[in-house]
Structure 1
Amino acid sequence: MTGQREPGSSREAPPTPAAVEIAFGRYRALLEATVGDAGAGWRDFVDALRRPLPACVWSRPGRVDGAELADLLAEQGVAADPVPWLDGAPGSALLLPAGFKAGQHWWYCAGLAHAQEAVSQLPVRLLDLAPGQRVLDLCAAPGGKTAQIALALGNAGTVLANDFAPERIAALQGNLDRLGVVNVSTTRGDGGNYPAAAGPFDRILVDAPCSSEGTLRRNRSLIDKVGPERSLRMASRQRALLRKAVKLCRPGGRIVYSTCTFAPEENELVVAEVLESLGGRLRLLPAAVPGLASAPGVTHWQGRSLPAELGRCLRVWPHANDTGGFFIAVLEKAPDAPGLPEPVPLGFGLDAGDGDWCTEIAEHYGLATPIEQTYRVHRRTRRGLHLMAPDHAPPAAPAAQGSGMFFQRTNVRPPKLTTAGALLLGAAATRQVLELGAPAERDAYLRREPLTPAPAARADCRPGQVIVRHRGWSLGVAVLHRSGELESLFPRGWSGAATGA
């Protein structure tokens, strides 16, 4: 298949209408059957796929609200519009101009917001989350949905986030740390073989790996890769993931299955096969979001009639809300279906003297409340200490890659807060806090450049480790030298994102 780009166009140029027709023409009758508006609807669909996708961020609850985040953007001359059909979701979602690079701005580095495509925020909303639920995100990286789940639960309780590759787990953990999430344990493995020893979950998200057809607006190269053969290859893995989710779901619990593709082979057909195989132990719930222009699930495809209940699924076509493409099915496990036994809990411990490390940090920064009274502190490595929500209770199996947040290094002297620890605890610090008021100083800190703050800014700090703030929000940790120079300890892996801070 060829992308048929315009002569002289760059690699990022939009595909031609003819290329879109070749790649997605098999969906024309499907779109017109579910949306209507024959002809015009298809032209709108093609035109939407050729346009760049608006950027979207959501505010981190507890650190900044949507209005404050919009004000920060307005100061930069960036227009931000609320997404009405995401109202009530964890964090306030704001639409931004296409091409906006949220990760290159100081407020993103400070964990005040997360960039996530608007339509990709829908599955968590349809999980019907409430504090106290035990939740599994079976295909979690890069972590936006996991963070939404965790914060919807009040950053408390137990969330397990699984993915299959170490580098994906690292990216997932990085996002959770930046956003101050402490109620998640990460696991690594094939979600289709997730062990029953993990126990039952009240809510499970299966945001399945897919052909990603609906992401064409931000990934132009897909135009040369999509097709029914790819969708058929993906479907077997998707069925395995959904079947495993059903087994792990607590009787009466809820599963949300989602993809970012248009292909019925990866969507309705997967759901239909799993429903049929379970003989009434699973039912489809209506998937609807007020204010969102959506279409029902497909009940006829390529001469095949599917169960009418598949119309309860939700399809989002790109032109309907100026988004990517998406599919969601909401499933409920029968209350009388077989369930799993509760899991063996993972044990946590501290070495002798570990409590002294926490006391030393609390005294250094003037934390009024001992760290151990707010969080559960535990040691996973020789490097230092982790903390997590007091009621976080991951299972002993599968083995956790991480539980909570690595917040303090104890293999250095004096002990040092990590950047994630500073973002989480910095608001409560009353000593050794250095406020950078000038944007130029703030940006130099984020780029790990040496700087010398004004004497007034460092007057209340003695030489040594300090928490750096800007406008009251924590940015991270630094060392204040006797010379007055501030040595940034902002992570190298994060500082590259701050080049446009």
Structure 2
Amino acid sequence: MTQTTESHPQGVRLPRAKATALVTPEQVAASPLARYRTLVDDWDAFAAAIGRPLAPCIWANPTRISVAELAELLAEQGLDAQPVPGLPAALRLPEETKAGRNWWYCAGLAHAQEEVSQLPAMLMDLAPGQRVLDLCAAPGGKTAQIAFALGNRGTLVANDIAHARIKALQGNLDRLGVVNVTTTCCDGANWPSASGQFDRILVDAPCSSEGTLRRTPSLLPRLDPDSALRLGPRQRALLRKAVQRCRPGGRILYSTCTFAPEENELVVADILAEHPGLLRLVPASIPGFIAMPGVTRWNGRELPSELAHCLRIWPHHRDTGGFFMAILEKDPGCADEPTPEPAGLDDTDAAEWLAGLDDKYGLGGDYWTRYRANRQTRRGLHLMAVDHAPPAVPVAESSGLFFHRTNVRPPKPSTGGALLFGRDVTRFGVSLDAEQRDRYLRREIFDPTPEQRAATPTGQIIVDYRGHVLGVGVLHRSGVIESLFPSRWSGCAA
């Protein structure tokens, strides 16, 4: 049985959500959630938690800012951000905060992600040098956490079945400056064997999403107990494929945001039964979290006792959403497969364009040695970690970060590219004040100060606020600054 106790470091107080109910305990009791009465240790507390709004949570981008520095920025803004015990990079924000509408979110200093959704990356035992697959990756919060745990180097493949979701995934990775990820779009249950095997695989499976009710209370009247049975076959297919693609001695983390045993323990039990002796459930714990053990009996069915090694996060224990996780380790003695050939990439004209960026922004001749630049589309260049090796199949949607648009005159860095290298420029950089910052994020034209105008030649510029890069602008000969902040990101505007 795995159960940890919640610790509260001295001086840390978890802010509680407001008492106003989104749904009532009576509505919860009359819903399909009532079938979990035998699983929940305190039904009244559980039903009350489901009816409370969920406070937003963010984590600091470790490549750009420490969590302490981020907390200071938020405090200056009047936001009471509280540390989250057990999640050292996370901060819980006041309930009414819209994280995505703040300048620090636009600058990729932080990412908004529910507390329980941040747990899988912590339990995957990640280390630089591992080859990792995120089989159901969009919208990309877990992908980015994995990428940074790998040191933003090496090879992480992030897959999703829907093209529209891949676009959102790539947008988050670009904003955060992730350069060690290849995105792919295919059915994870049919993931090609030619891609090779992986040291770590995350299967954050599509599910009935009961654990997200605090964020989406409108889901409650639409809950259907039969949806768990309908989703089960797909969840088993995804986990089955992960077992096949996992390297001997490697690990798979299976997770869902639902309470249903049909989508959680029963899926894991069936996969274990299909592969006798090949897999073991790794006991898991999360210091600082109350994590209940997995279910070993459901609807009259006795399940293997080892399923107690799974973890269940119930909303009333930490004022969070609901979550389930299981860690599966593959027998290190089984047959290994050879490493597949990586995809070929066109880097024939990259050096010339990189030299142009060096010359304009004063980056230094050896600046790009940590990266690999290549052309994947006619639009311009992508940048990836120098040791990133995307597989040849499935065909990538994108590898690395699209960072320099060369099909326009004059060529210009993308916003993601500017966020990545802009802090290192020694020429054509302009620091904005708070009013200019907000006008820039609203895509407005504004006047520079006389000091800014005197210190900067006309042309494309990299703009920052307090040393944190915001993106690309143009200082015109007429003396005004034009914002080139992308319109699709303009929801970030203050």
Partners in 1 of 2:212 and 2:190 — Cα distance? Answer: 27
How many angstroms does 1:357 deviate by? 1.5
- Separation in 1 of the partners of 2:45 and 2:22? 15
Q: State how 1:19-418 maps to structure 2 within 5 Å.
A: 19-23=27-31, 24-32=33-41, 41-87=42-88, 92-351=89-348, 353-418=349-414
CA deviations 1:171-206 (Å, max 9, x no partner) are 000000000000000000111110011101000000
Task: Give the structure 1 partner of residue 469 of structure 2.
Answer: 474
Report the number of matched residues.
Answer: 474
Encode CA deviations 1:72-104: one digit per residue, 9 max, x unaligned: 1111111111111113xxxx1001112311000
Shift of 1:369: 4.1
Q: CA deviation at 1:243?
A: 0.4
Corresponding residue for residue 11 of structure 2: none
**Contact kept in structure 1, 2:105 and 2:492, CA below 8 Å:** no
CA drift of 1:371 comes to 4.5
Residue identity matched to 2:464: R
Amino acid at match of 2:98: K
- Give the superposition deviation at 1:31: 1.4
Deviations 1:103-122 (A, max 9, x none): 00000000000000011100
Q: Residue 423 of structure 1 is aligned with which of 392, 404, 419?
A: 419
Supply the distance in 2 between the matched residues of 1:240 and 1:391 (Cα, whole angstroms): 31
Counterpart residue number, 2:22: 14
| Alpha-carbon distance, 1:63 to partner | 0.6
**Cα separation, 1, equivalents of 2:473 and 2:47:** 51
Contact 1:143 1:176 in 2 (8 A): yes
- What is the CA distance between 1:355 and its match in structure 2? 1.9
For residues 372 and 106 of structure 1, the distance between their equivalents in structure 2, rounded to whole angstroms, comes to 28
Matched to 1:429, the amino acid is V
Contact 1:196-1:340 within 8 A present in 2 as well: no
Q: Helix, strand or coil: the match of 1:206?
A: strand
Contact 2:21 2:53 (8 Å CA) reproduced = no
What SS does the aligned partner of 1:136 have? strand
Contact 1:362 1:370 in 2 (8 A): no
Q: Which amino acid aligns with 1:480?
A: L
CA deviation after TM superposition for structure 1 residue 338, in Å: 3.3
Sequence identity (%): 62
Q: Kindly provide the CA deviation profile for residues 190-242 of structure 1, in whole angstroms up to 9, marking residues without a partner as x.
A: 11110011101000000001000000000011101223201111111100000
1:242, 1:257 within 8 Å by CA — same for their partners in 2?
A: yes
Residue in 2 that maps onto 1:432: 428
Structure 2 spans left out of the alignment, 5+ residues: 1-19
Query: 1:374 Cα deviation (Å)?
Result: 2.2
Aligned to 1:8: none
How many angstroms apart in 2 are the aligned matches of 1:413 and 1:166?
A: 30
In structure 1, distance between residues paired with 2:162 and 2:295: 33
Distance verdict in 2 for CA 1:282–1:192, change over 3 Å: same
What does the per-residue CA deviation read over 1:3-55, in whole Å, with 9 as the maximum and x for residues that have no partner? xxxxxxxxx961122210122110011113xxxxxxxx110000000000011
CA RMSD of aligned residues (A): 1.1
Three-state SS of the structure 1 residue aligned to 2:213 is helix
How far is the alpha carbon of 1:456 from its aligned partner? 0.4
2:201, 2:253 within 8 Å by CA — same for their partners in 1? yes
Q: Matched residues in 2 for 1:354 and 1:48: separation? A: 54
Displacement after TM superposition at 1:334 (Å) = 0.4
Taking structure 2 as the reference length, what is the TM-score of the superposition? 0.94
Q: Evaluate the alpha carbon distance shift between residue 338 and residue 222 of structure 1 in structure 2; reply closer, same or farther with a 3 A threshold.
A: farther
**Alpha-carbon displacement from aligned partner over 1:306-343 (angstroms, at most 9, x marks no partner):** 00000000000000011000000011000122333321
- TM-score normalised according to structure 1 size: 0.93
Deviations 1:113-132 (A, max 9, x none): 00000111001100000000
Quote the Cα distance in structure 1 between the aligned partners of 2:378 and 2:340. 27
CA deviation string 1:382-438 (max 9, x = no partner): 11001100000011011000000110011112221110010000111000001102x
Q: Secondary structure at the match of 1:441?
A: helix
1:3: which partner in 2? Answer: none
Q: Displacement of 1:260 after TM fit?
A: 0.4
Distance 1:14 1:491 in 2: 35
